[in-house]
Amino acid sequence: MLVASFARPTGMFDNWFNRFTAFVTGGSYCHSEFVFTFPVEEMKDFLVDVGEEVGKWEKKLEKYEDEGNVHICFFVVWGEHVNYRLLKKKHTNPYCRYPVERDFSILEMDVTKEEMVQLAKFLMQQRNKEYDYVGALTFYVPFRTKQEHYNMYFCSQLMVNALQHVNKFTDINPSGVTPNKLYNMLLLS
């Protein structure tokens, strides 16, 4: 299963900058990210497919196993690089907790299993790319052209670019998409 998660400026995202971001981008959301849910064995297969050593993941997978599944979230936030984190539905740390409706809107994605794996592989390949400060601050200025890959990303740009790798939203320039715009695009698709 794959969900798109949209953060409101509450809980761990509650600060003046995120409230300002939601306001300026015309909606309720200040951040967006993908959360993939894989059965543990499928997660191990995925890790092998992307060149990860499963042995190095064993303790993490055991710790974050959630009713036979593992939830992996791909994200990029201000000041960080594209990365992932494992989530659990009842984790005590909100950063490691599966998104809850109180702080997030969650949209289940209509993708095939093959598309889901392809999206996750693309996102793993984007790890460690820098946050796109200029792009995030100038999303409304159409000076950047649409690209197949970017050297840096902001959250919703990363998600749209990933979706384009499974032939969704191919006519959209990811650089001009905010979390609020992406939420509306997904609702209408």
Q: Is the pLDDT of residue 145 over 90?
A: no
Residue 109: CA count within 13 A, CB half-sphere:
27
pLDDT value, residue 147: 82
HSE at residue 2, side-chain half, CA atoms within 13 A, is 20
pLDDT in tens, 5-47: 999 999 999 999 999 999 999 999 999 999 999 999 999 999 9
Q: How far is CA 137 from CA 2, 64, 149, 164, 187, in A?
A: 28, 35, 19, 22, 25
pLDDT at residue 174 in the model: 95
Residue 37's nearest CA partner among 63, 9, 74, 10 is 74
- What letter would DSSP give residue 92? S
| Stated pTM of the model | 0.95
Q: Determine which helix (DSSP H) or strand (DSSP E) holds 134, and give its type and residue range.
A: helix 133-137
Higher pLDDT, 135 or 31: 31
Coil, helix or strand at residue 7 = strand
Model confidence pLDDT, tens digit, residues 56-106? 999 999 999 999 999 999 999 999 999 999 999 999 999 999 999 989 999
pLDDT at 141 over 80: no
Tell me the per-residue pLDDT of 46-55, one tens digit each, with 9 for 90 and over: 999 999 999 9
Instruction: Determine if residue 11 is left, alpha or beta; phi over 0 gives left, psi from -120 to 50 gives alpha, anything else beta.
Output: left
Q: How far apart are CA 35 and CA 120, in angstroms?
A: 9
Query: What is the reported pLDDT for 140?
Result: 80
pLDDT for res 144: 73
Q: How much is the pLDDT for 142?
A: 67
The DSSP letter of residue 169 is S
Average pLDDT (159-180) is 96
